């Protein structure tokens, strides 16, 4: 194996160990316990080695945010295999809330306003794209015209985030939060099928 290839592989393995250690600390103790020095100790490296991969704690947290969205993306892809379009959407709701319940600290940093907003949007975009694709398929299957798909996605995403947060905070519990998310999504989709609010319709045919 060429020396450059071996070094690249070793570097990738080191980075992966750092991420795994950081994720473990985050999931078990919360973001306050996450420091470069702590991670360096846990992986038995010096702090400068960790800094070679992540410039600071913010960069490490952003990588964990991206990791969380990759996990969620995998869950969404599994839900997308459901053949029924309505059931597909409710499974997305259930999976989102389940993810938040199983990874409370990770879910928190994925939505933490202290993380750069543009970066959060960037790493979340693949997940949002799947939601947009599923909503497009659903609307076509039911002959529903949504004037603004981005707004529709924001409505769904915001609803799921709010309900997941209730479960995360312990207000309603994870199981009930999943049930509420499914019910909320059914209600929104039914509303769009039977008659959307004026703010979601296209321009009035009367021109008023």
Mean pLDDT by 10 residues, the chain (208 residues): 77 92 94 92 91 93 95 92 94 94 92 89 93 94 91 94 82 87 96 68 40
- Judge if 116 and 177 occupy the same domain: yes
Q: How confident is the model at residue 193, as a pLDDT?
A: 92
Which residue range is the domain that position 17 belongs to?
1-54
Q: How confident is the model at residue 170, as a pLDDT?
A: 67
- Judge if 27 and 103 occupy the same domain: no
Instruction: Reduce the DSSP state of residue 196 to 3 states and report it.
Output: coil
Q: Is the dihedral of CA 161, 163, 167, 170 positive or negative?
A: positive
- Judge if 47 and 144 occupy the same domain: no
H helix runs in the chain, sequence order: 3-29, 36-42, 47-53, 57-79, 85-102, 104-110, 117-141, 149-168, 174-194
CB 57 within 8 A of CB 135: no
- Judge if 73 and 155 occupy the same domain: yes
CATH code, 3: 1.10.10.60
Q: How confident is the model at residue 9, as a pLDDT?
A: 86
- Judge if 82 and 50 occupy the same domain: no
Q: How confident is the model at residue 11, as a pLDDT?
A: 87
- State which of 54, 70, 85 marks the end of a domain: 54
Measured between its terminal Cα atoms, the distance across the chain in Å is 72
How many structural domains is the chain composed of? 2
Q: How confident is the model at residue 187, as a pLDDT?
A: 96
Query: How far apart are the C-alpha atoms of 40 and 23, rounded to whole Å?
Result: 13
In a domain, 207, yes or no: no
Residue with tokens 């309900």: 163
- Judge if 21 and 93 occupy the same domain: no
In a domain, 87, yes or no: yes
DSSP label of 204: -
Q: Is the dihedral of CA 139, 140, 143, 148 positive or negative?
A: positive
CB 139 within 8 A of CB 110: no
Residue with tokens 């703010």: 199
- Judge if 101 and 165 occupy the same domain: yes
- Judge if 175 and 112 occupy the same domain: yes
In a domain, 21, yes or no: yes
- Judge if 102 and 180 occupy the same domain: yes
In a domain, 205, yes or no: no
Residue with tokens 């996605």: 153
- Judge if 14 and 75 occupy the same domain: no
Instruction: Reduce the DSSP state of residue 98 to 3 states and report it.
Output: helix
Query: How far apart are the C-alpha atoms of 50 and 137, rounded to whole Å?
Result: 44
In a domain, 140, yes or no: yes
In a domain, 206, yes or no: no
- Judge if 92 and 175 occupy the same domain: yes
- State which of 54, 74, 91 marks the end of a domain: 54
């Amino acid at each position: 194996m060429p020396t450059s290839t071996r070094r690249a592989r070793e570097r990738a393995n080191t980075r992966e160990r750092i991420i795994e250690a950081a994720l473990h600390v985050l999931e078990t103790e919360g973001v306050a316990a996450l420091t470069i020095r702590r991670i360096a100790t846990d992986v038995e490296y010096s702090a400068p080695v960790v800094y070679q991969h992540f410039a600071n704690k913010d960069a490490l947290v952003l990588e964990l945010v991206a990791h969380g969205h990759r996990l969620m993306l995998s869950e969404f892809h599994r839900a997308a295999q459901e053949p029924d379009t309505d059931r597909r959407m409710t499974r997305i709701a259930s999976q989102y809330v389940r993810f938040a319940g199983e990874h409370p600290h990770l879910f928190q940093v994925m939505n933490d306003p202290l993380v750069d907003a543009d970066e959060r949007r960037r790493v979340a975009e693949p997940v949002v794209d799947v939601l947009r694709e599923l909503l497009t398929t659903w609307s076509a299957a039911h002959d529903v015209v949504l004037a603004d798909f981005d707004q529709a996605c924001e409505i769904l995403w915001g609803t799921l985030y709010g309900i997941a947060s209730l479960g995360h905070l312990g207000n309603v519990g994870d199981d009930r939060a999943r049930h509420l998310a499914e019910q909320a999504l059914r209600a929104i989709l039914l509303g769009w099928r039977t008659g959307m609010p004026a703010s979601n319709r296209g321009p009035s045919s009367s021109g008023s």
